[in-house]
Each structure stands twice: as structure tokens, then as C-alpha cells.
Amino acid sequence: MKKINAGIVGGTSLLAGLLIEILYTHPYVDLIYIDSEHHPNEPIYKFHRFLKCDIKNKKFDNYSKEFVHKNLDVIFIAKPHRISMKYVKDLYNEKIKIIDLSGDFRIKNVKEYEKWYNTKHIIPDLIKKSVYGLSEVYTEKIKKANLIANPGCYPTGILLALYPLLKNRIIDSKSIFIVSYSGVSGAGKNPVPGKNLFIDAFNNIIAYKVTAHQHIPEIEEYLSEFAENRVMINFVPHITSVEDGIFNTIFLKPEKSLAEKEFFKFYEECYKNCKFIKINRERIPEIKDVVDTNFCNISLKMDIRTGNLIVFSVIDNRIKGGVGQAVQNMNLMFDLPEDTGLM
């Protein structure tokens, strides 16, 4: 097949570095455009020294709407929240496919977005046209989309862990407690005191944004869609002293009295055709199982003593929780096997 001409807006970001690596080695992609607003014409390797591919010796492009519209089939936008929507507004048309890595199009309720992200949304009409890129759940919609809102890292692992249970109405949707641990890369490459500085994070665990994390409305919106009723969660995120990975522990109250093996069957049936979901009956998954991969590993334990169900999920926050899922979505949009370039 004809190769996909791809580009990246915001080439110096932490996610962009991994995205460059994946796209450059993708068998059906020509990565012909990588721009930087603040560092045009500077060599890529200055910002992504880990890159081993030849593209590291090229220089960042100047942002060019005209080049994007004339030459590209797909553009990945790796800009921060609140800024990304300005580029989507500038680039959106019916011809080019856009995959946005920020939170600017994930929340369909505009008022909720504006409250949690503390900014006015400049193109709310495009939120309605965007498709939430949770690859295993919204596969058919993604295939037809022109604008993908790539999910957040915490929401990816949490939503995949809860989808089979809420879809089958077997847990109390009003009693969901989530404790999550993320590697320091989740805070990005710019220094954030208390989150990703070595002196703060090394040999430490830090709870942060308790009751106020911007992923809360995203998680609640899609859980509510799965359950077909209003879902609110208790969510406590933590930073821990690993580089990459997210470990989610979710406490639930079953609405049906089922054995542990019966809960597993719901997951196995739901995800039987999903290449990047692993259901583990033998042991609780660990972050090391998924780092540097696009997999989400899920397991569970039934606590007979309390009657509660405990579900565990792990992902690599930058790959399955970021650019890996973005490329998985691109594959779906261009009718490629979803694991192309990711295995």
C-alpha cells in the first residue's frame, strides 16, 4: 500500500521523542514533518538523545499549516493542554486526520472541561466531531474519525480495567475507589518541583492532586457512558520513583455474587480479540511486565472476607497511555492491523 505521510506538531516534548521512534520505524509511514515552535532548525538529537534512528540528525521544521495541508495524511499534535486546540483549529479539515495527545478534546461536556482545565475552549463545535481514542472500546468509531482525542494515561488503564464490569452491570457504579501509581515521566520533561525532580521522587511515593486531578472528569464521563448512569469515583494518584509505568488498584462492590473465575470470564470474553490486552489469572501484573510495550495487563482478586472485588491494571504511561495508543489509533484509521509498528 501507499505509505502514510505523517507529521508531528510539538517535536521537542517527552511524548514526541517516543512517537518519532515508533513512526520512523513503522513499515507503512513516512515521517516527513516534525516541527518545533521554539526550536526550529535545531537538530532533533539535542532534545531526544536516546534516538538511534537516522532521523535524529535532521532538524526541526518551522510550523507550516500550508505544508501540513498539502503533504500530510495524518498529523499528531504533541502540545500541552490549552495550547493544542489552537493547532487543531488551524489544521482541521475533512481531508487530514488529526490525533491530539492533549486533553483538549477528551471531555465532551465543555463546561466540565473549562472548569477542570481552567480555560475557555475556543472550538467547542469540534469536540462534538472528535472521537475518544480508547482503541479497544471505540474501534469502529475510530476507523471513521478525522479527529481523535487520545486518552490520558491514567484513564486508559482505569477505563480498560472497568469496561467489562460496567458493560455487564455487575458492580456498584457508585462505589469505585481507585489508587494509582505513576512513574515520574508522567509529569513531562520540564522540571516540576515535588513531582519529577530527582531529589523529590527518588526512593519516595507522593500523593498529588487528590480530589483535583484533571483526569477525573475524563474517567467519570466514559465510565458513565459504559454504565449508562452517572458515575463518580474516588481517585488518589501518586508519583513513585520509577521512570515509566502506571499501576492501578481498583476497589469495587459486586452487585452479583460470583466466584473469582466468573469475573475473569467477563474480561476474557470482552477482550478476546484485543491484541494489546492480557488477562492474567495466575498472578497480579507488575509494571515491569508492560514497560516499553503497548500492552495493558489486567488481573483481579475477590476478597471473600469483605465481599469486595479488587481489580489491577498496569500500562506504560508513555506508550499505551500515550503515543503507542496514538499509533494504534492511526493504524485503525488507515485500515491497518492495529499492532503494525508496535510489536
Per-residue pLDDT of the chain (343 residues; tens, 9 = 90+): 789 999 999 999 989 999 999 999 999 999 999 999 899 999 998 999 888 888 878 999 999 999 999 999 999 999 999 999 999 999 999 899 999 999 999 999 999 999 999 999 999 999 999 999 999 999 999 999 999 999 999 999 999 999 999 999 999 999 999 999 999 887 665 656 666 566 777 888 999 999 999 999 999 999 999 999 999 999 999 999 898 999 999 999 999 889 999 999 999 999 999 999 999 999 999 999 999 999 999 999 999 999 999 999 999 999 999 999 999 999 999 999 999 999 8
What pLDDT score does 202 carry? 81
Query: Is the same domain home to 215 and 301?
Result: yes
Residues 138 and 230 in one domain: no
Tell me the C-alpha distance between 94 and 154, whole Å.
30
Same domain, 141 and 10: yes
Q: Which helix (H) or strand (E) holds 192?
A: none
Give me the pLDDT at residue 194, please. 65
Q: Are residues 162 and 64 both part of a single domain?
A: no
Bridge partners of 76? 8, 99
Q: Using CA atoms, how far apart are residues 54 and 22, in angstroms rounded to an integer?
A: 13
- Is residue 93, in this structure, part of any structural domain at all? yes
Do 87 and 134 belong together in one domain?
yes
CATH number of the CATH domain containing 274: 3.30.360.10
User: Is residue 339 one of the residues assigned to a domain?
Assistant: no
Query: Which structural domain, as residue segments, surrounds residue 267?
Result: 154-317
**Contact between 297 and 278 (Cβ < 8 Å):** yes
Long-range contacts of 297-304 (CB under 8 A, 24+ apart): 298/160, 298/161, 298/267, 300/260, 300/263, 300/264, 300/267, 301/260, 302/258, 302/259, 302/260, 302/263
- 340 in a domain, yes or no? no
Please report the pLDDT score of residue 191 as a whole number. Answer: 58
Within this chain, do residues 174 and 193 fall inside the same structural domain, yes or no?
yes
Predicted confidence at residue 192, as pLDDT, reads 66
The answer as to whether 53 is a domain residue is yes
Please list the helix, strand and coil fractions of the chain in percent, rounded to the nearest 5, in that order. 35, 25, 45
Pair 196, 185 in one domain: yes
CATH code, domain with 70:
3.40.50.720
Residue 341 belongs to some domain of the structure:
no
Distance CA 60, CA 63 (A): 9
- pLDDT score at 319: 97
Q: Are residues 158 and 296 in the same domain?
A: yes
Domain shared by 188 and 107, yes or no: no
Question: Which is catalytic among the residues 53, 153, 270, 296?
Answer: 153
**Among 72, 54, 55, CA closest to 63:** 72
Active site residue 274: no
Neighbouring-strand partners of residue 284: none
Same domain, 217 and 137: no
Residues 164 and 307 in one domain: yes
Sequence-distant (≥ 6) Cβ neighbours of residue 38 within 8 angstroms:
12
Residues 127 and 204 in one domain: no
pLDDT at 201 (0 to 100)? 76
> What is the per-residue pLDDT for 18?
94
The predicted structure's pLDDT at residue 53: 80
Domain count, the chain: 2
| Three-state secondary structure of 11-50 | CCCHHHHHHHHHHHHCCCEEEEEEECCCCCCCEHHHCCCC
Per-residue model confidence (pLDDT) at position 60: 94
Distance CA 328, CA 218 (A): 20
| C-alpha to C-alpha distance for 6 and 67, rounded to whole angstroms | 11
Residue 289 lies in a domain: yes
